[in-house]
Structure 1
Amino acid sequence: MTQLFLVRDVAVPASLLARPDHFGGERRDGLLSGDLLVQDGRVLGFTATPPREARVLSGGGRLVLPALAEPHLHLDKAFTLGRLSGIGRDLLSAIRAQEADKANWTDEDLRHRASRAMEELYAAGVGLARSHVDWGDGEDPAGTPRAWDVLAEVAQEWRGRVTLQLSCLPEIDLFAEPETGQRIAEAVRRRDGVLGAWCLGHPRRHAGFTEVFRLADRYGLHLDFHVDEGAGVELDGLEIIARERARTGFEGPVLCGHAVSLMDAAPDRLSNLLESMARGGIALCALPTTNLFLQSRGSGTPDRRGITRLVEASQAGVATCLGTDNVQDAFYPLGRHDPLGTLALAVPALHLAAPLGDHLPLVSTQAAQAMGAAPVFVDRAPAAALLLAEARDVAGLLSCQPRRKRLPEFIATAGR
């Protein structure tokens, strides 16, 4: 038997519709609003003539969104702040402080903290997330860390609610040793993970990137890099990645996070690099929390923003997204796992222009594509992949990051 529901008085950001001109409703301030028809668990669009047999529910002016996507997390580090010291210095100090805390990373500790993070992600309406995992096991820098297996178990526990991808995070120099790189790639493949690395002027980075692209192609793995997370025109990891992509013809998704050094790139160099990234389909993820907190840090107020050039990248045709990065650890002492909170910070940090709804794809459809997944648009999406947020406009959505319910949950509980 066909199930029909009419959710009266809701709005959908036009940026989150694949075909906004075919969805119906009235346009206002970047939104389409009206009465939403849901048939057999799928959204059909706004309708002016609802079927008489439809069950009518009041949407109360809520916003309808697709499930959010979170491309850059560190669940192995999350919620460790209370047992750390020396916080609030620079990137390398944060790395040292977090490294010292690994003595506390028991299976129980990792599972507890990661599960807490997953609960926050689910409450925020995230359907797809990616966590990086520090690599190395004790004295073996290429050894699979226990956190990798524990987080894989947590991902399995949350399957069907939040899809959690895992990306390894060794230093790029490890891949310069072919046998070492192969061990890492094989461990990643066994968990259907993402092949990643971090590069900050490492001496063997050229050989490392050559090998990591070869391994990704051999094993059919996606690539994700922490790259050039610092000021200085000498950082060139992003350029090496662009050249390797072009040289190898690698066809899988490549996502690059941080790239703070783009702030120091001369205009011609910046233009050429962004053009190479756009041509090669290399996505860029900005991470405002950690980068604003740690970059260009001195004894007083910073006089510049320590963050990548996301606006210029987008204008150049580069696929762009935003990530939450670290939450309550050595790299960032605040935060929660909520992409809308990240977008709210990015508005002033990156001078994102109005209308604000145009930037919602940075934490939803574009973020999913950057992760190699199919984007979820509101048009004809399964109801289970949609959210109702208790906000009447995007400014309200980002200002207070209101409660969100999955559409089936809203339908099931409406009127009770």
Structure 2
Amino acid sequence: MLDIREKVTAGRPDLDTVSRVCAALLASLPRADQRRKGELYVRGLLTAPGRKTMRNLAGIADEPAAAQSMHHFISCSTWDWAAVRAALAGHLDRMLSPRAWVVRSMLVPKTGRHSIGVERRYVPALGETVNSQQSYGLWLASEAAAAPVNWQLSIGKGWLQENGARANVPEDEDGTTGDGAAVQAVLKAAAWGIGPRPVVMDARHSALPPLIEAFTTAGLPFLLRINGGCTLLAAGSGPRGSRVAAAPAEHLLGLARAQRRPVEWIDPASPGARRTSLVAPLQVYWPGLPGSRPPGQSAPAPPATARAAALGLPLTLLGKWQTYERGVQQVWLTNMTDAGYGPLLRLSKLTRRVETDFSYVSLDVGIQDFEGRSYQGWHRHVTLASVAHALRMLGDGAG
């Protein structure tokens, strides 16, 4: 597979490939004219220059009033975007052989307040309050490529009360923000029947309890990047092993420095570039959740001791150091306690794969370009932009 920058530059999938893939992924649309407009919209996302406005997308169609027709198809029609996303996920699960489900936040700064879900929200990564729209995408990711398959908007209850009726927000949408939106993006995709993969997410600015509880309850393996100040429990080496330490993750990893080992990995952001990091694991516990069988373990787990059960959910804390740095650079937390630290480190690097493909593919096919108040319009646009992303990523081998 080409370097993604070469793929974007090299060209776009041919029309036969676009038609064949769209026919399969849009088969759930009930009417032939809807399926035709869906393919036309995807073709526009792939080929229209600049921002993917309705006017620009309509420019590829030799039809009068094409812009109005496309607007109606996206914002006012009745087709179900969830069925298209499920078909896309199944297709990519076969084509990509993904190693992980990566959750990525998408923040879109806005100048006004008329677009769907736009509010002033504090953004920890920026350290400031930004007038913006926020959503979470679920990506299927392998070392070679990544593509989004599901999306969840972060919408506050206040925005819903003020704008919900005008935005045609469904009555069962009662406000899902931040981490709750991330969880919903994962759980909805898990119900589609695609092969479960570890959920990988940068959760440094997230509330960890709802994430860990939701993924544990759903029986999903997870690998979360956490803040070094997060407090965890670790069994110490006191008399009869009875000592328990509650300390920040960064401090606990200091106890594991002597166990560091070099691990080589290929950088998704620089194809072919091999890097080496120092990695060390440490067993820790998450208080408040009982010990449970690790995801994917077929045989029953050995009986936990009363002490271990009292400590909570057994997890592995993984630290990553650069060879030239003394302090730990990244801190990860996982319930895959039997996994080797080399595979865990390489799983964590799939977030770089997603960032690279978002920058070079998703933005190019207009994932952030929807303008409007329509809840349904936003969901349909990002769904078809995800189809366009998959087509661009896989090229003429899209299936």
TM-score (norm 2): 0.28
TM-score (norm 1): 0.28
